[in-house]
Every structure is written in C-alpha cells, then in structure tokens.
Structure 1
Amino acid sequence: MTKIENILRVDASGRKSGSISRKLASHTVDQLAANGAVQVHNRDLSEGLPFVDESWIGANFTPADKRTDDQKTKLAFSDSLVDELETANTLVISTPIYNFGIPAALKAWIDLVARAGLTFKYTESGPVGLLEGKRAIILLASGGTPMGSEIDYATPYLRHALKFIGITDVTFLAADGLGQDADKKIESALKAIEELD
C-alpha cells in the first residue's frame, strides 16, 4: 500500500495575486507530490483569524472536562487548527517578512495552536513539545531583509515556536532581498526547492 504524505500548507501573505511566498509554497507542494502520494490541506491565514482574548484564555486554562458550552465554542476553531497540525506529516509554511518579522496573522495562528496539553506539556525540566516526528518547510520572501541577518526576527522566532511544539526538523528556503535582482533570487529559491525530498 502506498503511504500518503499528509501536508498542511499554511499561507501567511496578505497578498494572493503576485505573492512570491505563495509561489514558493506551490512549487514546494508540487515537488513533494512528485516524490509520492500526498494529501494537501490548505490553511490561508489571509482569510482571517481571531486573536487570543480574555475569554479564550479563560476557556483554554479551564480543564477540558469543566468547560462550559460557551468555552467549548470559544476554543472550537483553535481545536480545529490543532487537529490539522496533528494530522499532518509535513508542514509547509509560506510567509513574507513584514517589518523584520512575521505577519500578525501567522503569529495569531501560532498563538492558537500552542496549547498546553495538546501541542506541548509542562514538565519539571520545562515545556516539551508533543508534535514530534513531523517536518516543516518554511518558504520566506522579503524585499530587503536577508534571511539570517541581524535584522531577521522571523526565522529564529519560527524555529523556536515550532521547536516549542515538538517540530525540530525545519528547513528554511528564501527568496530574500528582492529589492535587487528579484528574478534571479526567485529562480534560485525555486531550484533549491527542487532538491527537496
């Protein structure tokens, strides 16, 4: 029986038309599909996400068996995002760098999936991620922030946030510094994607 790779694709760009990060993600999914059977679930963060607020925090920190119906409803969307992550073998995140960091929508998504008891747990030696055995491929696009530079706050944050929930096999590929030689840098990123297995 052919093993199916479950891919969760998360797009964070506010742009749909002409988005370089989305183009890189599409190329990545195509490359993974060329290597075997895949099933892709798409989560487009530009369609809107709720932000964590007081009632969400109250519901989240109430033991599951003691939550009211309203609290369960408040957490339902977050629960569905966690289910998507748990089902996936591979996480493909496409994101631009906005003002040296990640878009607010991607931060909101992380806030909604970093759930004690679901995606990480507290231990005597500190928090431990629960989503082990998955890999993440992060596709970045930026106009003037080079990946790995001292003004890049996106990649170290994403690496740490994913490690926090147990995902340590993380690959970053970027079309960065697109303010100059954009076509050449995009082509280079596409070629790097074609080397993924």
Structure 2
Amino acid sequence: MSRVLVIESSARQQGSVSRQLTQDFIAKWQTEHPADEITVRDLAVDQVPHLDADLLGGWMKPADQHSESEQAALQRSNLLTEELLAADVLVMAAPMYNFAIPSTLKSWLDHVLRAGVTFKYTETGPKGLLTGKRAFVLTARGGIYSGSALDHQEPYLRQAMGFIGIHDVTFIHAEGLNLGNEFQEKGLASARAQLAQVA
C-alpha cells in the first residue's frame, strides 16, 4: 500500500479545472491502486499562513524559548511536513496565477522545505532527503505557456521538488483554457489523455 498526498491550491471551489483534474487523477488512481491511502489537503479551505517571524522563531529558537505563537507555528509546520514525509506520491494541483503558482501553494512549500528535515546542507551543497518519492503536478492555464519564458510555474516547482530530493516529477498541463472553446477543449483533452496514463 502506498500513501498519496494531494495538495489543492485553486482559490475556486466551483468551476476549477485544476480541481477537475484532481478528481480525474484520484478516480484513476483508486481504480488502479484500490488499497492506497489518499489524503487531500485543500489550501483554499485550510489556508497556510505566509512565512513569518513566528515560524522562523519556531524553527530556530530552543523549545524552552518559544512563545505561544511560535509553538503554534512550529506545530503547523510539523504537521504539514509529516504529511509530506509519510507520502509515497505527491500530487499538486496548481492553476497558473500571474505566470506562477498560487500564493497558498508557495506558503505550503515554505512550511515543508526545511533544513535538516526535508533537505540538508553538506560540504558539496544542499542534498534532498525525500528520495524515492514520485510527484505529479496538475496545472490549469488560461494561455499556452509550456516552454515559454513566461512560465515561472514548472521551472520553480521542478527546482523546489528536486531540492528536497523528489526528481521523478510529471507535469500535466491543461492549457489554452481562456483562448476560446477550440483551445479549451483541446487543452482539456490533452491533459485527460495524459492523466489516463499516470497510474
């Protein structure tokens, strides 16, 4: 049995293409892997605060010097990090907002990219500690950005995942969603065809 962690980040609950892709992924995965455990964390519903002084204090100060807010911030980071550590497969659903990922997803990443926990510094540079995991990134994009210099989504997420040791990352893009019906239908069909192969 494997554990699958799904991270939703669309601000919309209704009409969200990235959420549609997530449901397609989960349905396909459950058919192929019925014994697997799937956990969904919805960052639009259960928002993760931005990186702040309380979280930095929770990470850096000795436990006996934590304020209540620092302790609460550390506990939240620990919970999110433990979910990631326990997962064999990570699925991130990310609409493109202003050429990049939603700020909610960035906040989640800021809580789980932790020195000494998900990566460590060595004499030869940083080393990711989450080797052996797979990741899938399901994106929804109004335009067509794959391979474009305007795409700050895929390069950033590949870098972030690789930094913590996750190098097996598959991106599935639904593109052209705001370019008219023909582009929208083509973009969704392409994404769903790729989804059918992932499990």
TM-score, normalization: structure 1? 0.93
The answer for the alignment partner of 1:46 in structure 2 is: 44
The answer as to whether partners of 2:57 and 2:66 remain within 8 angstroms in 1 is no
Whole-Å separation in 1 of the counterparts to 2:48 and 2:58: 17
The residue type paired with residue 158 of structure 1 is: L
Cα offset, 1:29, TM superposition: 1.6
Cα offset, 1:84, TM superposition: 0.5
The residue type paired with residue 73 of structure 1 is: A
Whole-Å separation in 1 of the counterparts to 2:53 and 2:132: 33
Map of 1:151-170 to 2, 5 A cutoff? Answer: 151-170=150-169
**Change over 3 Å in CA distance of 1:58–1:69 after alignment to 2:** closer
Cα offset, 1:122, TM superposition: 0.9
Which consecutive unaligned segments of at least 5 residues does structure 2 have?
none
Map of 1:1-197 to 2, 5 A cutoff? Answer: 4-36=1-33, 37-47=35-45, 48-63=47-62, 68=66, 70=68, 71-180=70-179, 181-197=183-199
Whole-Å separation in 2 of the counterparts to 1:32 and 1:67: 45
Whole-Å separation in 2 of the counterparts to 1:74 and 1:24: 31
Which consecutive unaligned segments of at least 5 residues does structure 1 have?
none
TM-score, normalization: structure 2? 0.92
The answer as to whether partners of 2:5 and 2:40 remain within 8 angstroms in 1 is yes
Whole-Å separation in 2 of the counterparts to 1:148 and 1:45: 27
Identity of aligned residues (%): 41
Cα offset, 1:146, TM superposition: 1.7
Whole-Å separation in 1 of the counterparts to 2:117 and 2:51: 17
Aligned residue for 2:156, secondary structure, equals helix
The residue type paired with residue 110 of structure 1 is: L
Aligned residue for 1:194, secondary structure, equals helix
Whole-Å separation in 2 of the counterparts to 1:74 and 1:188: 40
The answer as to whether partners of 2:142 and 2:178 remain within 8 angstroms in 1 is yes
For residues 6-50 of structure 1, the C-alpha deviation after alignment (integer angstroms, 9 at most, x for no partner) is 110001110110100111111112212121222111110112111
Runs of 4+ in 1 over 6 A off after TM superposition: none
Mean Cα deviation higher: 174-183 or 89-98: 174-183
Cα offset, 1:175, TM superposition: 0.4
